[in-house]
Structure 1
Amino acid sequence: MLSGGNIVIVGGLLIGLLYGAVALLSGFCLLSGLRGWWARGDSRLIRTYALALGVAIVATQLLAARGVVDLGKSIYLQPSFSAPLMFFGGLLFGYGMVLANGCGSRALVLLGRGNLRSFVVVIVLGIAAQMTLKGLVAPARIFLLQASQTTPKIISLPALVSLAGLSENFARTLAASVIAGALIIFAFAHAPFHRSWGQIAAGFAVGLLVTAGWFATGYLGADDFNPVAVTSLTFIAPIADAVQYAMLSTGLTLNFGIAVVAGVFAGSLVTALSTRRFQWEGFSSPRHMLRSIGGAALMGAGGAMAYGCSIGQGLTGLSTLALASFVAVAGILLGTAAGLRGALRVQPLVSADAQSGPLS
């Protein structure tokens, strides 16, 4: 019989495999969604993302309301956090995502499809994240964290709603219903999306995979003698851990995040090969490579400061309705907007690579 820790590893691998396949087939990506919506008027991908978030919120809050998973044990609902640092980290991540033309999860997915640009992004992101979490940049991050962190009485949206005198469960239900309902209405308030059955399926699938991660780590992996971190889909620290594990595996232990990273790559690779989507791709110029490296470094450092990425905070963090996650996601969206529009807009590269499809 598998122990709780081994169940979590197997669960992470399966969740990663499914996410890799779904993301490759559907093009699931926050950056692609925002770029398509703002630049081309095609909002189907951003509506897929909204649907995934709505489903994740409903299902995750249902698990929490029934006492199946204690979300308070996750990093998103810790009593102390630094809103300025998380917002700043989100800004860096969002702008870096535009520079690198895709987030960490999308880079993993496209790496499985043969995109060698993504290999560079994954490695640099992992190194930058590890430097910010535990390496040369860590003292600066810790100093900023200690100088700006607070311990607010209210750390989640349901707790904020409960100030109106509502019970905890009713406040949770009300907050989740309003946010998730608005997201799902937005997703389906678009006629072309109604006909995009693949995108609808992808939205439901990703939202349920986020919930499956909470269930795997918070319920199946619950063990007082061998506790595991309560978490779900996220890619900044896990990519950093995966890079380190590849180099020092004999001195490290597998965890849920590393298993998810491996699963996403494997799921994408198998799907790409079986559907004949696999194709080797590389950089078009040194400038292209430098831009990707710079974007990956910003994503790694920024994601470490923000405690997550466009998936880790944008889906998993927001599924907990943590106020800190709303702060981080606001930074990510503003950083992405700065990279796509305005004075700091990242100019597109005109190349054969751009014609064959963006990283995101």
Structure 2
Amino acid sequence: MSGLLIGLAYGAVGLLSGFCLLSSLRGWWADGDSRLVRTYALALGVAIAATQLLAAGGLVDLGKTIYLQPSFSAPLMFAGGLLFGYGMVLSNGCGSRALVLLGRGNLRSFVVVIVLGIAAQMTLKGLIAPPRVAALQLSQTAPKIISLPALLSAFGLSETFARMLAASAISGALIIFAFAHAPFQRAWGQIAAGLAVGLLAAAGWFATGFLGADDFNPAAVTSLTFIAPIADGVQYVMLSTGLTLNFGVAMVAGVFAGSLLTALATRRFRWEGFNSPRHMLRSIAGAALMGAGGAMAYGCSIGQGLTGLSTLALASFVAVAGILLGTAAGLRGALRVQPLVPAQDGQAR
């Protein structure tokens, strides 16, 4: 129920605000408009502060999350981030954005969601899983320091003080960056969206780490993330009698429902489709890269870029670096994804 409610809220906020890492970076790098990227920065700052407060208060054990495991493969996570970032540009949005747009009637996003889910499941448990596992075993390491607070603790600081120092410094810098821009200060809708998404990330941790804590029936400690949940959601729709409904699947359903209800209430719902076969092929390719890359990186632009970073895990910084570099390659440079050009017959080519 918590996953469904958090998803409903995220779907509504995502539709009304246009919250999306790709849109943020494209607007900043191409048009010089940094309002959306500052919304993302505000959301991340709030998520870090709230998540670390929950952890410091003993309400959530972040050590049980996939982000703070004792071993990880930095090369595999970075490579997965690269694939995800470039695929996000090809598909013109990440998995969470595709769910939001699907609720608004965008049928292109339906193709993206299905292909992303299949590619992610193939990489996690299917045909691509054996080479992924082999690469993981060859390249994974078990560093003594797996988080930024642990790094500060190595200099003699107490665990609690190191946690609060790291959280305060990073979240404070992000929030200052967000509000150091006069147009953003006047964008009340974007400010509200940043605050809401950051608090929703913390709410996910509270729901799974505290409300879902049960020694006899433990639930995965997680929050907003969309690669594995979309894959599980696609599988649940097909095989629900043999599967258990979990937080991620309920959240994915909530995001779609929240966007749909908001679109209908605000009269933003309209059917949209592909302009050409090339447009469809590009979206399919991007979705496949996002599904496979996100599975390798243990998350997406939200799952690692917001939720993962809120744990201050060093592995999340590696994955996000790959996502940003892959996105940059898709938006500019020799590998830049060229925009679809309308032809004389009105079709894109």
Report the TM-score, using the length of structure 1 for normalisation: 0.95
- Report how far residue 350 of structure 1 moved: 2.9
**Residues 149-188 of structure 1 correspond to what in structure 2 (within 5 A)?**
149-188=140-179
For residues 289 and 180 of structure 2, the distance between their equivalents in structure 1, rounded to whole angstroms, comes to 35
2:94 to 96, 103, 111: 103
1:308 to 289, 299, 306: 299
Correspondence 1:332 to 2:343: no
What RMSD over aligned residues (CA atoms) do the two structures have, in Å?
Answer: 0.9
Which position in structure 1 is the counterpart of 2:261?
A: 270
Identical positions, percent: 87
AA aligned to 1:59 is A
Deviations 1:83-103 (A, max 9, x none): 000000000000000000000
AA aligned to 1:43 is S
1:68 to 43, 59, 72: 59
SS of the equivalent of 2:28 reads helix
SS of the equivalent of 2:274 reads coil
2:139 to 144, 148, 155: 148
AA aligned to 2:44 is L
For residues 196 and 228 of structure 1, the distance between their equivalents in structure 2, rounded to whole angstroms, comes to 38
**Residues 46-57 of structure 1 correspond to what in structure 2 (within 5 A)?**
46-57=37-48
Correspondence 1:281 to 2:272: yes
Which position in structure 2 is the counterpart of 1:31?
A: 22
For residues 253 and 21 of structure 1, the distance between their equivalents in structure 2, rounded to whole angstroms, comes to 26
AA aligned to 1:274 is A
Correspondence 1:298 to 2:289: yes
1:14 to 2, 5, 16: 5
For residues 288 and 56 of structure 1, the distance between their equivalents in structure 2, rounded to whole angstroms, comes to 35
AA aligned to 2:261 is V
Which position in structure 2 is the counterpart of 1:249?
A: 240
AA aligned to 1:112 is G
SS of the equivalent of 1:349 reads coil
Q: Which runs of 5+ in 2 are unaligned?
A: none
Which position in structure 1 is the counterpart of 2:337?
A: 346
For residues 350 and 157 of structure 1, the distance between their equivalents in structure 2, rounded to whole angstroms, comes to 45
For residues 284 and 141 of structure 1, the distance between their equivalents in structure 2, rounded to whole angstroms, comes to 35
Q: Which runs of 5+ in 1 are unaligned?
A: 1-9, 356-360
For residues 14 and 232 of structure 2, the distance between their equivalents in structure 1, rounded to whole angstroms, comes to 22
For residues 251 and 298 of structure 2, the distance between their equivalents in structure 1, rounded to whole angstroms, comes to 17
Which position in structure 1 is the counterpart of 2:80?
A: 89
Which position in structure 1 is the counterpart of 2:129?
A: 138
Following superposition, which runs of at least 4 residues in structure 1 exceed 3 angstroms of deviation? none
- Report how far residue 351 of structure 1 moved: 4.0
For residues 324 and 242 of structure 1, the distance between their equivalents in structure 2, rounded to whole angstroms, comes to 26
SS of the equivalent of 1:164 reads coil
